[in-house]
């Protein structure tokens, strides 16, 4: 029997950070040279490439594990289950509970254990653990949860993707404008219909040459404190990698599902960069010699930015709750969930509603 999603939930932070809020930043290149273009030009070019107009940051009084618990509570309510029945809690993140100043990360105990505590779950047979898998972490958590269910080890799993990237970014790096905070979660349960739920998946890790495309590094401004490291990336290499590899992983998952490309109604892809995502989808459909259908790829990046592991589950929750204009998922729809990120990791799931 296939694993089915019975409830979703998300937490979108209250603090709105608009592009204009970066006008006073001083930006430096990877070579530590101050950028000579005026900030309005830098920001305008950034928006034209990424599609990001604004993003959400977490209030200083909240932690990653706390917003994850809020999203999880909403997913549990939507699934209408007793949380004591949950067999596994899988929490995908990358930086733990970062403090508001971005100086200290706390991963002890695991964030999954913290969420279990915040949800007040007493059942010791509910196993809680974290996974660090880059931006594709939530999708990978879904794949792991499906395997638990298929093997009979679990009947109900809570899968979370939550991150606070605003606390690990270099204010002097223009790439910092991409990142945001948020949390998404879902309940995955054992289903009774072989034609519904997770039909197939693909997951890959490339490390021979690609492992350091996303990394921790010093500020682009050399005068900054040297012992503080920030989230960094080689954007061009990531772009080329994603265009070459992600469509093939999506095709592998779809071909294994037995469905035709025409059966896919939505593709929920990691919201990293609007132009990159559009190019990935075009290449994916080109593999089947098809044109990209209108409305196939819902986007939230324009308002929410890139919240890493939270982007796909948050997007799914928005659509299922009719909170994303012009997009719906209805009974019978087949969708693809896909992501790419640090590792370099890629994964994709074909899911039938």
Domain boundaries, the chain: 3-190, 197-352
Q: Which residues pair with 179 in a beta bridge?
A: 306
More confident of the two residues 278 and 194 = 278
Structure letter (DSSP) for residue 56 = E
pLDDT range class, residue 225, cuts 50, 70, 90? low
**CATH 3.40.50.720 corresponds to the domain 3-190:** no
Residue 193 has what pLDDT? Answer: 78
**Are domains 3-190 and 197-352 of this chain identical in fold?**
yes
Say how many CA atoms lie within 13 Å of 25 toward its Cβ.
Answer: 26
On whether the pTM is more than 0.85, the answer is: yes
Long-range CB contact pairs, 107-112, < 8 A, 24+: 111/64, 111/65, 111/68, 111/162, 112/160
Q: What is the DSSP string of 314-327?
A: HHHHHHHTT-STT-
Residues 300-310 have a mean pLDDT of 96
Residues 26-44 pLDDT 10s: 999 888 889 889 999 999 9
Strands 334-341 and 264-269: parallel
**Ranges 69-83, 151-165, 225-239: which has the least confidence:** 225-239
Residue 160 has what pLDDT? Answer: 98
- What SS3 class is residue 49? helix
Assigned CATH for 197-352: 3.40.47.10
> How far apart, in whole angstroms, are the C-alpha atoms of residue 89 and residue 126?
7
Residue 103 has what pLDDT? Answer: 79
Please say if the pLDDT value at position 192 is more than 90: no
**Phi, psi (5° rounding) for residue 243?**
-65, -35
Structure tokens at 240: 């080329």
Residue 157 has what pLDDT? Answer: 98
Neighbours of 49 (CB within 10 A): 15
Cβ atoms of 26 and 34 closer than 8 Å = yes
pLDDT range class, residue 56, cuts 50, 70, 90? very high
Q: Which helix (H) or strand (E) element contains residue 148?
A: helix 137-151
pLDDT range class, residue 224, cuts 50, 70, 90? low
């Amino acid at each position: 029997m296939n694993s089915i999603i019975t409830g979703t939930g998300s937490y979108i932070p209250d603090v709105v950070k608009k592009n204009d809020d970066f006008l006073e930043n001083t930006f430096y290149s990877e070579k530590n040279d101050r950028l000579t273009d005026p900030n309005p030009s830098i920001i305008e070019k950034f928006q034209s490439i990424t599609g990001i107009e604004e993003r959400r940051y977490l209030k200083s009084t909240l932690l990653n594990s706390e917003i994850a618990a809020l999203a999880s509570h909403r997913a549990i309510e939507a699934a209408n289950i007793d949380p004591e029945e949950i067999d596994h809690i899988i929490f995908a993140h990358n930086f733990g509970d970062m403090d508001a100043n971005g100086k200290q990360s706390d991963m002890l105990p695991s964030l999954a254990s913290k969420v279990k505590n915040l949800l007040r779950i007493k059942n010791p047979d509910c196993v809680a653990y974290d996974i660090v898998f880059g931006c594709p972490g939530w999708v990978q958590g879904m794949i792991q949860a499906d395997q638990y269910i298929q093997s009979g080890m679990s009947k109900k799993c809570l899968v979370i993707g939550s991150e606070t990237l605003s606390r690990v970014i270099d204010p002097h790096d223009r790439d910092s404008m991409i990142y945001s905070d948020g949390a998404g979660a879902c309940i995955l349960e054992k289903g009774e219909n072989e034609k519904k739920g997770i039909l197939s998946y693909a997951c890959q890790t490339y490390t021979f040459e690609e492992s350091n495309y996303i990394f921790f590094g010093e500020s682009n401004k050399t005068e900054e404190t040297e012992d503080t490291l920030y989230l960094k990336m080689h954007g061009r290499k990531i772009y080329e990698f994603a265009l070459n590899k992600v469509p093939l992983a999506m095709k592998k998952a779809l071909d294994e599902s037995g469905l035709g490309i025409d059966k896919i109604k939505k593709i929920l892809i990691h919201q990293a960069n609007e132009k990159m995502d559009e190019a990935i989808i075009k290449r994916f459909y080109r593999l089947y010699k098809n044109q990209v259908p209108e409305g196939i790829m819902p986007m939230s990046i324009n308002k929410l930015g890139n919240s890493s592991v939270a982007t796909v589950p948050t997007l799914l929750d928005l659509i299922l709750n009719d909170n994303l204009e012009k997009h719906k998922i209805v009974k019978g729809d087949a969708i693809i969930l896909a992501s790419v990120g640090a590792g370099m990791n890629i994964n994709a799931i074909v899911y039938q509603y």
